[in-house]
Structure 1
Amino acid sequence: MIRGIRGATTVHEDDGAPILQETEKLLREMITKNQVNAEAVTSILISVTQDIKSEFPAKALRKIDGWNYVPIMCMQEIPVPDSLEKCIRVLMTVNTEREQKEIHHVYLENAVQLRPDLSINQK
């Protein structure tokens, strides 16, 4: 069965190093909490808000051993007024036997406010 795993985080500034660091942290957390291996991943989509321009967050995946061949793509989030700033969102599509309620979506940093209902169960 194919399932989507959601995740999001934020950075404090538009700078390459923090963008890669926070994205890698988010991806590793999504992978660990859902026990995902690279072969089970169909693709990963990453969106960023308009205020993130200095680096492709997708590069962070290449720092994780065994994930070189996973298709990944970055795009810009729609600019909704008063939306969360400096936000990186991830949608990882995986083949899994887990039920929808067993998927652990991950929200870090200021992105916790996007889905506080899901963030409560992250521990």
Structure 2
Amino acid sequence: MIRGVRGATTVVKNTENEIIGKTEELLRTMIVANQINATDVAQVLISVTADITACFPAKALRKFDGWEYVPVMCTKEIAVPNSLPSCIRVMMTVNTETQQKDVQHIYLHKAVTLRPDLVKSFSVDN
């Protein structure tokens, strides 16, 4: 079964270290919470708001062992008035037996305001 696993986070500064760090935190949490193996991932789409320009957040995934063959693409989020600024969103397409209602979508930092109905607390060992 193919499922989409969603996630979002925000950055405080438009710097490469901040963008990569927050994206890595988000991806790691998504992977652990959903027990995702790289070999089960069809693709990862990452969007950013227009104010994030210092680097491609996809660079964060390239730091993960075993993820070098997973296709990743970055894109710009549409500019909706009054939308959450400094936001990185992820859509990971995964082959899994997990039921749709049991997929753990991850929202961190100020992105918790996007889907408060789905926000849960997770801890990830780095």
5+ unaligned residues in a row in structure 1: which ranges?
none
Moved over 6 A (4+): none
- Residue 101 of structure 2 corresponds to 101
| Residue identity (%) | 61
5+ unaligned residues in a row in structure 2: which ranges?
none
Q: Does 1:23 align with 2:6?
A: no
Letter in 2 for 1:58: A
Letter in 2 for 1:116: P
Partner Cα separation in structure 1 for residue 121 and residue 44 of structure 2: 21
With normalisation by structure 1, the TM-score equals 0.97
Cα shift readout 1:74-117 (whole Å, capped 9, x = no counterpart): 00000001100000000000000010011000000000000000
Q: CA deviation at 1:122?
A: 3.5
- Residue 54 of structure 2 corresponds to 54
Letter in 2 for 1:70: V
- Residue 42 of structure 1 corresponds to 42
Q: Does 1:75 align with 2:70?
A: no
Partner Cα separation in structure 1 for residue 72 and residue 31 of structure 2: 15
Q: Is the 8 A contact 1:45 1:72 kept in 2?
A: yes
With normalisation by structure 2, the TM-score equals 0.95
Number of residues of Structure 1 aligned to a counterpart in Structure 2: 122
Which structure shows the higher helix fraction? 1
Partner of 2:80, secondary structure, is coil
In angstroms, what is the RMSD of aligned CA positions? 0.7
